[in-house]
């Protein structure tokens, strides 16, 4: 059995390092979704890093593209690509931009960067698996700010109509969007109830209980005949005390001293 909390700490160390070295923002958003990706890539997804295009694989659509470093790091540590590719992150001419672009690395399933696209892409992939008679499950990771986009709710209406029980959306509910408290910007709450009202089998969980998340993600389909929505309560900047729930870290980049302090906390 994998030590999932240790994997999450390893990912977080890489995230603060990447942000410092490449001088790229969105660190708070990247840190909040780490445990979700750890649970998915090490606990639930039926994938083989050696066969990233296998047609029967489970798929993870990473829709909150601004947190791309979390996706890249998870795929790298899971063995989808090597150190050499990881080292090109955000380098001019490299294939790993600050948002995932098409075909940028093995294991990246779809483009992201403009919010509100991933859930619809996931609906398409889940329908395709059904049409093709494949067992693939599809997991879509979204941000709470992303739920502002109308297209999310178009997809939320379609998936239950198609009884897409192999589709799961996980909302990284860190309560902040770029410039304000999510609840003050748009009326998101009660978020679990919204998904339930749209016809989803909706759960509300601690988005940092990585073991529990892994169990929940593994138990899809959950027997309800409905797509699954998981509202994962998270903390923006999770894992670094002086970044937690401080929205300055949406854009701020750690200096050398802050990096050292963060790495010490994440040992």
Partner 1 sequence: MRDAFANELLDLAKADPRVVLLSGDIGNRMFDKFKAACPGRFYNCGVAEANMTSVAAGMALSGLRPVTYTITAFNTLRCLEQIRLDVCYQNLPVVLVGVGGGLSYASLNATHHALEDIACLRMLPKMTVICPCDAWETRAAMRAALALGAPVYVRLGKKGEPTVHDRVPDFTIGKGMVLREGRDVCFIGTGTMLPTVLAAADRLGRDGMVAGVVNMHTVKPLDVALCAEVFARYPLVVSVEEHSAAGGLGGSIAEWRAGLSTPGLAPLLRIGTADDFMYVAGEQEYAREYFGLTEEHIAAQVAQALRA
Chain contacts with partner 1 (rule: CB under 8 A): 55, 61, 101-102, 109-111, 113-114, 117, 120-132, 136, 150-151, 154-155, 157-158, 161-162
Q: Which is nearer to partner 1, 144 or 149 (CB)?
A: 149
State the chain's maximal CA–CA distance in angstroms: 53
CB closer to partner 1, 17 vs 151 = 151
| β-pair type (59-62, 138-143) | parallel
Question: 119: which 2 tokens?
Answer: 């859930």
d(CA 248, CA 250): 5
264: tokens are: 């010490």
In the chain, count H helices and then E strands: 11, 7
Closest approach, Cβ 57 to partner 1, in A, equals: 10
Least distance to partner 1, CB of residue 118, Å: 8
How far, in whole angstroms, is CA 196 from its chain's centroid? 21
Nearer to partner 1, 146 or 258 (CB): 146
The C-alpha atoms of residue 172 and residue 152 are separated, in whole angstroms, by 14
- The residue among 116 and 254 lying less far from partner 1, judged by its C-beta, is 116
Of 18 and 112, the one with the shorter C-beta distance to partner 1 is: 112
Q: What is the spatial distance between Cα 14 and Cα 20, in angstroms, rounded to a whole number?
A: 10
Structure tokens at 46: 């039926």
Please report how close the Cβ of residue 131 comes to partner 1 at its closest, in angstroms: 6
CB of 216 to partner 1, least distance (A): 23
Q: Report, in Å, the least distance between residue 158 CB and partner 1.
A: 6
């Amino acid at each position: 059995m994998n030590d999932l909390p240790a994997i999450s700490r390893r990912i977080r160390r890489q995230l603060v390092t990447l942000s410092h070295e490449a001088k790229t923002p969105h660190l708070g958003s990247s840190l909040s979704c780490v445990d979700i990706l750890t649970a998915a890539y090490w606990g639930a997804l039926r994938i083989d890093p050696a066969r990233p295009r296998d047609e029967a694989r489970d798929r993870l659509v990473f829709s909150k593209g601004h947190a791309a470093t979390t996706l890249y790091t998870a795929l790298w540590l899971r063995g989808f690509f090597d150190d050499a590719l990881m080292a090109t992150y955000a380098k001019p001419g490299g294939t790993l931009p600050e948002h995932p672009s098409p075909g940028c690395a093995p294991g990246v399933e779809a483009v992201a960067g403009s919010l509100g696209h991933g859930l619809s892409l996931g609906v398409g992939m889940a329908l395709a698996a059904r049409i093709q008679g494949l067992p693939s499950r599809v997991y879509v990771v979204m941000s709470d700010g992303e739920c502002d986009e109308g297209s999310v709710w178009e997809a939320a209406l379609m998936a239950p109509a198609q009884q897409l029980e192999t589709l799961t959306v996980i909302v990284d509910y860190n309560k902040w969007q770029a410039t304000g408290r999510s609840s003050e910007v748009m009326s998101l709450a009660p978020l679990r109830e919204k998904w339930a009202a749209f016809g989803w089998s909706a759960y509300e969980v601690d988005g940092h209980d990585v073991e529990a998340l892994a169990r929940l993600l593994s138990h899809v389909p959950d027997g309800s005949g409905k797509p699954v929505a998981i509202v994962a309560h998270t903390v923006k900047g999770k894992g670094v005390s002086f970044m937690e729930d401080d929205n300055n870290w949406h854009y701020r980049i750690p200096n050398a001293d802050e990096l050292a302090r963060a790495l010490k906390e994440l040992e």
